[in-house]
Amino acid sequence: GDSVTQMEGPVTLSEEAFLTINCTYTATGYPSLFWYVQYPGEGLQLLLKATKADDKGSNKGFEATYRKETTSFHLEKGSVQVSDSAVYFCALSGQAGNNRKLIWGLGTSLAVNP
Amino acid sequence: ETGVTQTPRHLVMGMTNKKSLKCEQHLGHNAMYWYKQSAKKPLELMFVYSLEERVENNSVPSRFSPECPNSSHLFLHLHTLQPEDSALYLCASSQEAGAREKLFFGSGTQLSVL
**Can you spell out the DSSP letters for B49-89?**
EETTEEEEE-S--TTEEEEEEETTEEEEEEES--GGG-EEE
pLDDT at position B96 is 82
User: Does B1 contact chain A (CB < 8 Å)?
Assistant: no
Residue A93 and residue B101: Cβ atoms within 8 Å?
yes
At A58, which helix (H) or strand (E)? Answer: strand A56-59
Give me the pLDDT at residue B56, please.
80
A43 → closest Cβ in B4, B45, B102: B4
DSSP state of A72: B
Quick check: A98 pLDDT over 70?
Answer: no
Question: Quick check: A43 and B105 CB within 8 A?
Answer: yes
Q: Number of A:B CB contacts under 8 A? A: 48
Q: Report CB contact under 8 Å: A45, B45.
A: no
A85-111 average pLDDT score: 85
| pLDDT, average across residues A103-113 | 95
Band of pLDDT at residue A95, cut at 50, 70 and 90 = low
pLDDT value at residue B100: 67
Average of per-residue pLDDT across A72-85 = 97
pLDDT (average), residues A16-38: 94
Contact B100 A41 (CB under 8 A): no
Higher-confidence residue of B39 and A64: namely A64
Judged by a CB distance cut-off of 8 A, whether residue B45 touches chain A is yes
> Residue B99: pLDDT band by 50, 70, 90 thresholds?
low
Closest Cα of chain A to B1: distance in Å?
Answer: 9
Interface check B27 vs A, CB under 8 A: no
Beta bridge partners of A58: A63
Lowest mean per-residue pLDDT among A13-17, A44-48, B10-14, B58-62: B58-62
Using the Cβ of B106 and the Cβ atoms of chain A, whether some distance falls under 8 Å is answered with yes
Q: What is the mean pLDDT of residues A80-106?
A: 85
Q: Which pLDDT band holds residue A9 (cuts at 50, 70, 90)?
A: confident
Suggest the residue from A23, A26, A44 to mutate for an interface test with chain B (most B CBs closer than 10 A): A44
- Report whether pLDDT(A30) > 90: no
pLDDT band (50, 70, 90) for residue B106? very high
Given this model, what pLDDT does residue A18 score? 98
Is B110's Cβ below 8 Å from some Cβ in A?
no
d(Cα B11, Cα B15) in Å, to the nearest integer?
13
pLDDT at B67 over 70: yes
